């Protein structure tokens, strides 16, 4: 699956944001926060886990999902979300150089 397919879904992006902020949650709590049903949430989690962006641990029938801290994809997504939030908060512009590293140029006030 390519990046457009993975991040092209608003629900998957919202799941990633929620888990980046909270740490780990079960399927029901993620579904509640998204305002969608359990089945839809579980399908999106399965896609993200299949891409090795998320991982889960089980306690009986309960699955707790979190970002996979060992995954380069998860690290890249987390860095992108952090840079995006920083840019919005500090009114900066994001740039990427040829190596894909983010460069942030502070915008001057009027």
State the pLDDT at residue 110.
46
pLDDT at 96 over 70: no
DSSP-assigned letters across all residues of 2-66:
-HHHHHT-HHHHHHHHHHHHHSEEEHHHHHHHHTS-HHHHHHHHHHHHHTTSEEEEEETTEEEEE
Residues 5/16, Cβ–Cβ less than 8 Å: no
Under CATH, which architecture does the 3-67 domain have?
Orthogonal Bundle (1.10)
| CA atoms within 13 Å, Cβ hemisphere of 74 | 20
pLDDT in tens, 33-70: 999 999 999 999 999 999 999 999 999 999 999 999 99
State the pLDDT at residue 86.
80
What is the location of CATH 1.10.10.10 in the chain?
A: 3-67
> What do you get for the CA distance between the two ends of the chain, in Å?
44
pLDDT in tens, 71-84: 999 999 999 898 88
């Amino acid at each position: 699956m390519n990046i457009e397919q993975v991040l092209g879904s608003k629900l998957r992006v919202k799941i990633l944001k929620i888990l980046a902020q909270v740490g780990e949650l079960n399927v029901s709590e993620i579904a509640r926060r998204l305002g969608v049903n359990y089945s839809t949430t579980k399908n999106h989690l399965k896609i993200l886990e299949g891409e090795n962006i998320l991982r889960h641990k089980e306690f009986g029938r309960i699955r707790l999902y979190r970002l996979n801290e060992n995954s380069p994809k998860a690290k890249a997504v987390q860095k992108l979300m952090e840079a995006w939030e920083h840019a919005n908060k500090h009114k900066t512009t994001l740039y990427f150089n040829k190596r894909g590293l983010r460069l942030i140029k502070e915008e001057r006030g009027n």
